[in-house]
Structure 1
Amino acid sequence: MIPQHDLTGLILAGGQGRRMGGVDKGLVPFAGRPLVAHVRERLAGRVGELLVNANRSHDAYAAYADRVIEDAEGGYQGPLMGIYSGLRAAHTPWLLVVPCDTPALPADLVTRLVAGIGDADIAVAGDGERLHPVVALIRTALADDLAAALAEGERKIDRWYARHAWVRVDFAAGPAAFANLNTDDEKRRLERALAEEPIDR
């Protein structure tokens, strides 16, 4: 088992939020609190350090992180650049990555990914049907390889994972637990669903 002090948590909040009209998505209110606050609850107290990867609103995100880090390279190059930035910034052997717009993540997210990684370098969350590549536990020693992949123009997370020993860790929570919110309609639907059937905290 990986001890807590060997884990860094990373919340990806560096995107442009284009499908929500360009807003800073992690700070969008959800059930009365910013999305990032809900995601933080899944990692706080379960990792040695908590990072938020953000390219704006640094002061606002500082309330939810031990450190706020920017993308290593500018230009909003996508989540793989955010993951690389976290791998490079972490002081631990492992990085646990989650997006800022998934407020219903399973309560046992960290425990299950740590338990499921075995001898692999990457553990990717699944819901029993599909993979959720932006929810993953990654060995930080892979930072240099990811730097090389990015330099070659790679921007697809699953293609980079395929270069390494990775495992799938399925959760019984179902697809809603990994729902990422890209539009106001999706946000309202999930708010209603969780109001009717709250998730475990």
Structure 2
Amino acid sequence: MMPLGVILAGGQATRMGGGDKGLLPLGGARVIDHVLDRLRPQVGAMCLNANGDPARFDLGLPVVPDSIADYPGPLAGVLAGMDWAATQGAEAIVTVAADTPFFPRDLVATLVAASAGQTHPLVLAAQKGDAQTRSKSKSGLIRHPTFGLWPVALRDDLRAALDQGLRKVVLWTEKHGGREAIFPAAQDPFFNINTPEDLIRAEERA
């Protein structure tokens, strides 16, 4: 069974002045339309993780909010996606960020391939860092924690960890033997839109 797709849009977009970054115009559409175009062929059903009034989205997708209060970060969105996927009978989800319109079209296949042999498929997207990154990181990798393959079977463990105050994605994934799938750094496929300047760069690229 293909993993289900979960688009993470539960952040507060403070550097963009608030609002939903995914609904910003880009290349004659919206940022999230580009995300959907890339994700839809790679997964089964999809949902959107977002907080607030779901009526502001017209995507034809289920909108699932965080179940943990006070915007605790991307792991809350992962958990919301896991809980939704459990109702669909799915074993795994793949998460992507709603503000990253150029992510790889082979994202899911690469994550799934990297999970071979794992009891619970748990893989984060990553890229090889430059010399400065390698000096600061034991692995020498730049991880992209909003892009990952997550096992629905571990959702209660994740819920307990969040309830206990865990916020760092890698602390939880490493506890469960998580891996990294390495993607090429060329063309910066995980470029995300955080600021108005980023949106200008994305428009040029689109």
Q: Would the TM-score normalized by the shorter structure come out above 0.5?
A: yes
Equivalent residue for 1:199? none
**Corresponding residue to 2:155 among 122, 143, 165:** 143
Structure 2 residue 73 is matched with structure 1 residue 78: yes
- State the alpha-carbon separation in 2 of the partners of residues 57 and 40 from structure 1: 20
**Corresponding residue to 1:53 among 49, 54, 72:** 49
* Residues 17 and 88 of structure 1, relative CA distance in 2, 3 Å threshold: same
The letter for the 2-side match of 1:165 is G
Equivalent residue for 2:28? 32
The letter for the 1-side match of 2:126 is G
TM-score, normalisation: structure 2: 0.85
Q: How does 1:41-190 map to 2 (within 5 A)?
A: 41-63=37-59, 65=61, 67-90=62-85, 91=88, 92-120=90-118, 121-129=121-129, 130-172=142-184, 174=186, 176-190=188-202
- State the alpha-carbon separation in 2 of the partners of residues 149 and 49 from structure 1: 27
Q: Are the counterparts in 1 of residues 39 and 105 from structure 2 also a CA contact under 8 Å?
A: no
TM-score, normalisation: structure 1: 0.87
- State the alpha-carbon separation in 2 of the partners of residues 64 and 187 from structure 1: 25
Would you identify which runs of 4 or more consecutive aligned residues in structure 1 move more than 4 Å?
none
For structure 1, the residue ranges without an aligned partner over 5 or more in a row are 196-201
Q: Are the counterparts in 2 of residues 11 and 52 from structure 1 also a CA contact under 8 Å?
A: yes
* Residues 60 and 44 of structure 1, relative CA distance in 2, 3 Å threshold: farther
- Percent pairwise identity: 38
Q: Are the counterparts in 1 of residues 26 and 202 from structure 2 also a CA contact under 8 Å?
A: no
Equivalent residue for 2:135? none
- State the alpha-carbon separation in 2 of the partners of residues 159 and 174 from structure 1: 28
- State the alpha-carbon separation in 2 of the partners of residues 97 and 78 from structure 1: 13
Deviation track 1:61-102 (CA, whole Å, cap 9, x = no partner) reads 34152x111111332222111111111111300010111011
Q: Are the counterparts in 2 of residues 106 and 173 from structure 1 also a CA contact under 8 Å?
A: no
- State the alpha-carbon separation in 1 of the partners of residues 159 and 189 from structure 2: 31
